[in-house]
């Protein structure tokens, strides 16, 4: 067993050995190293062919046309291109954008930039399980709304939004609908021939591909237009200039091909491990699952252990690589904005841990982790004045705390 | 996390974790911090008739350096008079534990906990 045990697959995944092997074939002199934009010789043609194959594999996973796939450097760039590109292009129609408070920073910060450019942005509240209330979304839609951007699966709590219904609502009003699918592609079926999604962001490194490569799906029918954010040689039909990174693209294509092939197998494996983990720790008192255990991807499992502080918990869980819902790097500790948006108290938000399980996690890993969690929680609660007060029946909300 | 060995040691093997009966007249209790800020320290001192700290215990909800700061303080105050304990400053704590700048507030909290406990002792005496 390799320590620390890696349970941070939502942050990134190791590259699948099958993917790495393919990538290595397009780097060196004896490989396909050419520039796919070179039209005058075989090196270029061969590289272009590899890019086409990858593009087909990516389109296949989500049932799209390969001509609808635009390569970018990752989901952050895809989100930037989609939201700013569409908002800018359609700004004559209106300057209102809708998103949610629990979106990834790549969406929220892009929306902030649009606000600086004169757009108005509505940040939707979410329900306590993280889902968007479609009535709230509907009442936020206006005649001047040009873009709605809602993530498919949340990176912190794993909750899966109903993009089918949201798509219908947007299409009926001719609003461009963008979906950040960085955490969902390859983990849950996506059918873009059926879904009324206009733009969708993808990342390779969340599904066993390399970092530094992603894609944006841009619908052709009805045709969605974007203002390019990167200018140059007019690559990717003018949407995104820059020489194509063939080895990265090959890696992403292979990762998406495997994801489609292994989706059911991966899913069954991960569901079983998530259930094993939950069964092993749910007897710990004052333990809460954040998000929704039904409408989610099983690989992301977010739990709060009340009366234990997140950073000390991470220290106690030193033999596993997990993420904490709080970042205690400044005098005032900042709990996760996603968990706060669910309405969690500061204490519960501070005491949350995200376990993200993946293709290479084993039962042995999970069993080891269960034991470590029990030891850590016992030790820290023994040391926690809040736990002592809770056990004495003190209502912590009635205590006059001195904020500092 | 770039913590010093001393922080790790206090975190792994915290000294004097526990509680005294807070209604005991010789016990002084100082509770500082707030759950919303991510740290709460409870420091208890057992003080004899001569005003010397015989024993100390703590419980802390907080990050590794908050736990280490409070653990260290319980070691330092033992055997000191309350006047001497009052002189302990956060800089000494931060220095001893080599706390990174973003964690200085943990040492301040530990100093506050000593002061709060001594206040509690004085108000108990006045009664």
pLDDT the model gives residue A327:
52
- Across the interface, whether the CB atoms of A312 and B32 are under 8 A apart is answered no
DSSP for A285-314 reads TTEEEES-SSSB-TTEEEEEETTS-HHHHH
- Between A333, A350, A402, which is nearest B32 by CB? A402
Per-residue pLDDT at A333 exceeds 80:
no
Collect all residues with Cβ–Cβ distance below 8 Å to A347 and sequence separation of at least 6. A306, A307, A386, A396, B35, B36
Mean pLDDT, range B31-39, rounded to an integer = 88
CA distance A328 to chain B (A): 8
Q: How far is B100 from chain A (nearest CA, A)?
A: 10
pLDDT of residue A331: 44
Structure confidence at residue A398 as a pLDDT band (50, 70, 90): confident
Categorize the per-residue pLDDT at A329 as very low, low, confident or very high, splitting at 50, 70 and 90.
Answer: very low
Please determine, for residue A2, whether its predicted confidence score (pLDDT) is greater than 80.
yes
Query: How far is residue B74's CA from residue A281's CA, in Å, rounded to a whole number?
Result: 33
What residues in A contact B71, CB-CB < 8 Å? none
Return the residue matching tokens 């906990």: B113
DSSP string, A43-67: HHHHHHHHHHHHHHHHHHHTT--GG
Q: How far is A11 from chain B (nearest CA, A)?
A: 18
Q: Are residues B34 and A382, on separate chains, in Cβ contact within 8 Å?
A: no
Asked if B33 and A328 come within 8 Å (Cβ–Cβ), the reply is: no
Residues of A identified as active-site:
328
How far does Cα A22 stand from its chain's mean position?
25
Length of chain A: 404
**Quick check: B66 and B102 in contact, CB under 8 A?**
no
Q: Rounded to whole angstroms, how far apart are CA atoms A238 and A156?
A: 34
For B42, the closest chain A residue by CA position comes to A385
B63 is catalytic: no
pLDDT digits (tens, 9 = 90+) for A32-46: 999 999 999 999 999
A155 pLDDT more than 90: yes
Most B CBs within 10 Å: which of A340, A381, A383, A396, as the mutation test of the B interface?
A: A383
**Minimal Cα distance from A404: which residue of B?**
B33
* pLDDT, position A18: 98
| B interface residues, A as partner, C-beta within 8 Å | 1, 11, 14, 17, 19, 31-42, 59-64, 66-67, 102, 104-105, 108-109, 112
Q: Is the pLDDT of residue B84 over 90?
A: yes
Q: Which residue in B37, B89, B95, B123 is the catalytic one?
A: B37
Per-residue confidence (pLDDT) for residue A330, from 0 to 100: 43
B14 and A388 within 8 Å at the Cβ level: the answer is no
At residue A345, the pLDDT reads 87
- Tell me the pLDDT tens digit for each residue of A12-39: 999 999 999 999 999 999 999 999 999 9
Find, in chain A, the residue whose alpha carbon is nearest to that of B44. A385
Instruction: Say whether pLDDT at A255 is over 50.
Output: yes
Contact at CB, B67 and A312, closer than 8 angstroms:
yes
Report the distance separating Cα A233 and Cα A214, nearest Å: 19
User: Which chain A residues are within 8 Å of B32, Cβ to Cβ?
Assistant: 402, 404
The mean pLDDT value of chain A amounts to: 95
Over 50: is that where the pLDDT of B7 sits?
yes
Q: What is the tens place of the pLDDT at every residue in A157-171?
A: 999 999 999 999 999
Q: Please tell me the predicted confidence (pLDDT) of residue A404.
A: 58
Q: Which of A341-355, B1-15, B43-57 has the highest mean pLDDT?
A: B43-57
Indicate the pTM of the whole model: 0.92
Question: Has residue A127 got a pLDDT over 60?
Answer: yes
Rounded CA separation A197/A199 (Å): 6
Q: Which of A70, A18, A73 is nearest to A211 (CA)?
A: A73
- pLDDT above 90 for B66: yes
**What mean pLDDT is predicted for residues A266-291?**
97
Q: How far apart are CA B24 and CA B36, in angstroms?
A: 30
What chain B residue is nearest to A340 in terms of C-alpha separation?
Answer: B36
Residues of A in contact with B67 (CB under 8 A): 312, 383
- Best B15, B42, B63, B105 member to test A by mutation, with max A CBs in 10 Å, is B63
C-alpha dihedral sign at B4, B6, B7, B11: positive
Q: A169-220: per-residue pLDDT in tens?
A: 999 999 999 999 999 999 999 999 999 999 999 999 999 999 999 999 999 9
Q: How many CB pairs under 8 A join A and B?
A: 89
Give residue A54's pLDDT band: very low, low, confident or very high (50, 70, 90): very high
Helix and strand numbers (H, E) in chain A are 12, 15
Q: Out of A311, A326, A387, whose CB is closest to B64?
A: A311
Q: Which of B19, B38, B59 sits opposite A333 (nearest CB)?
A: B38
């Amino acid at each position: 067993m390799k320590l620390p045990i890696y349970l941070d697959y939502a942050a990134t995944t190791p590259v699948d050995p099958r993917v790495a092997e393919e990538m290595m074939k397009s780097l060196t002199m004896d490989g396909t190293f050419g520039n796919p934009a070179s039209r005058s010789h075989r090196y270029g043609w061969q590289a272009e062919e590899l890019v086409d194959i990858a593009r087909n594999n990516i389109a296949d996973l989500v049932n799209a046309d390969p001509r609808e796939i635009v390569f970018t450097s990752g989901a952050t760039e895809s989100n930037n291109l989609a939201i700013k590109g569409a908002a800018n292009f359609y700004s004559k129609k209106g300057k209102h954008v809708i998103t949610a408070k629990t979106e990834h920073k790549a969406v929220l910060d892009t929306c902030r930039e649009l606000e600086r450019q004169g757009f108005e942005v509505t940040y939707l509240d979410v329900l306590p399980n993280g889902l968007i209330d479609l009535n709230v979304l509907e009442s936020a839609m206006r005649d001047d709304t040009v873009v709605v951007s809602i993530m498919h699966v949340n990176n912190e709590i794993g909750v899966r939004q109903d993009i089918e219904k949201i798509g219908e609502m947007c299409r009926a009003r001719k609003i461009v609908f963008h979906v950040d699918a960085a955490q969902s592609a390859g983990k849950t079926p996506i059918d873009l021939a059926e879904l009324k999604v206009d733009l969708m962001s993808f990342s390779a490194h969340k599904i066993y591909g390399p970092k530094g490569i992603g894609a944006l799906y841009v619908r052709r029918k009805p045709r969605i237009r974007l203002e390019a954010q990167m200018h140059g040689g007019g690559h990717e039909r003018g949407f995104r200039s820059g020489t194509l990174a063939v080895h990265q693209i090959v890696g992403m294509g292979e990762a998406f091909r495997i994801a489609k092939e292994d989706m059911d197998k991966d899913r069954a494996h991960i569901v079983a491990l998530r259930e094993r983990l939950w069964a092993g720790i749910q007897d710990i008192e004052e333990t809460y699952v954040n998000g929704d255990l039904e409408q989610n991807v099983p690989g992301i499992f977010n739990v709060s252990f009340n009366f234990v502080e997140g950073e000390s918990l991470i220290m106690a869980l030193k033999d596993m690589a997990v993420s904490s819902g709080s970042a205690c790097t400044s005098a005032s500790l900042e709990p996760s904005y996603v968990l706060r948006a669910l309405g969690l108290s500061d204490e519960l938000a501070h005491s949350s841990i995200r376990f993200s399980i993946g293709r290479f996690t084993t039962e042995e890993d999970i069993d080891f982790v269960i034991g470590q969690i029990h030891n850590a929680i016992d030790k820290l609660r023994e040391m926690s004045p809040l736990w002592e007060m809770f056990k004495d029946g003190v209502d912590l909300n009635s205590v006059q705390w001195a904020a500092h | 996390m770039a913590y010093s060995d001393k922080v790790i040691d206090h975190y792994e093997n915290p000294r004097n974790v526990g509680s005294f009966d807070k209604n005991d007249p010789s016990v002084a209790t100082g509770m500082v911090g707030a759950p919303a800020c991510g740290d709460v320290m409870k420091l208890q001192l057992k003080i004899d008739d001569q005003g010397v700290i015989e024993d100390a215990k703590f419980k802390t909800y907080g990050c590794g350096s908050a736990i280490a700061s409070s653990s260290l303080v319980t070691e330092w105050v033992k055997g000191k008079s309350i006047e001497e304990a009052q002189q302990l400053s956060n800089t000494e704590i931060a220095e001893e534990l080599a706390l990174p700048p973003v964690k200085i507030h943990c040492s301040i909290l530990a100093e506050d906990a000593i002061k709060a406990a001594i206040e509690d002792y004085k108000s108990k005496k006045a009664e």
